[in-house]
A and B are shown apart, each in its own frame.
Chain A
Amino acid sequence: QKEVEQNSGPLSVPEGAIASLNCTYSDRGSQSFFWYRQYSGKSPELIMFIYSNGDKEDGRFTAQLNKASQYVSLLIRDSQPSDSATYLCAVRPGGGADGLTFGKGTHLIIQP
């Protein structure tokens, strides 16, 4: 069973601080890693994707990937109340699989 693990939270962060979201995966052959944001009752929205080890920055968001540790994270700088949502980590497994495997998500709360 290929798994993606996330702490369900809630993770509470003061406005303006850095929110750090973490994810581990079991399939060492995984190739692609994604972070989605999902507001309550809405469908997921792609925030970031990363394929190579290291950091990838896009605006206030930074994705970090460490394939040796099978670990991927998302940092949100200057957190805003509008960032409050559930963040889903998704992994495309190796072996030619098409669909993504999702973690259960981390509920992030940005406190004004």
Chain B
Amino acid sequence: GAVVSQHPSRVICKSGTSVKIECRSLDFQATTMFWYRQFPKKSLMLMATSNEGSKATYEQGVEKDKFLINHASLTLSTLTVTSAHPEDSSFYICSARVPGRGGEKLFFGSGTQLSVL
């Protein structure tokens, strides 16, 4: 299947610092990527849709100035958590649509566990 690579897998940072998470599509071009976050024992919540060459579309309640998304190429989208606080601690997962027979499917990166101290 399609491969979506996400890095880093785990990061611990101090409150007030910024953290960048990278999401790469390794064997296909992804014009659209999605960023989700997941709290323990909760479902995935869509944060934003990242479109190559244009501004990201954020879901209601997600601060665009806090969660900066850049989709500079067809294979790379980045999420930067700015001025991180403990409540930002969560599991962040990127995903990309892969076209194919039967329609498009969504594949996920391996996720990034962010812990803000």
> Are these two chains actual partners, yes or no?
yes
Q: Contacts of B43 on A, CB cut-off 8 Å?
A: 88, 102-105
Segment with Cβ contacts to A, from B14-22, B79-87, B102-110: B102-110
| With contact pairs A44-B44, A44-B93, A51-B102 given, residues A98 and B49 touching in the complex (Cβ less than 8 Å) | yes
B75 at interface, CB cutoff 8 A: no
A59 at interface, CB cutoff 8 A: no
A25 at interface, CB cutoff 8 A: no
Q: Determine whether the beta carbon of A99 is less than 8 Å from that of B49.
A: yes
Which secondary structure dominates chain B's binding surface?
strand
Given contacts A43-B109, A43-B110, A90-B106, could you give 16 more A-B pairs where the C-beta distance is less than 8 Å?
A32-B103, A34-B106, A43-B108, A46-B1, A46-B107, A46-B108, A88-B43, A98-B32, A98-B49, A98-B97, A99-B46, A99-B59, A100-B34, A100-B106, A101-B46, A103-B43
| With contact pairs A43-B111, A99-B49, A102-B44 given, residues A49 and B103 touching in the complex (Cβ less than 8 Å) | yes
Q: Determine whether the beta carbon of B110 is less than 8 Å from that of A42.
A: yes
Count A/B pairs, Cβ under 8 Å: 50
Closest chain B residue to A32, Cβ basis: B103
Residue among B102, B109, B113 with max Cβ neighbours from chain A (10 Å)? B102
Instruction: State how many residues of chain A have any CB contact under 8 Å with chain B.
Output: 21
Interface residues of A (CB under 8 A from B): 32, 34, 36, 41-46, 49, 51, 88, 90, 98-105
Interface residues of B (CB under 8 A from A): 1, 6, 32, 34, 42-46, 49, 59, 93, 97, 102-111, 113
Complex CA gap A32/B100 in Å reads: 14
Query: 5 closest pairs, A vs B, by CB?
Result: A43-B111, A99-B46, A104-B43, A43-B108, A102-B44
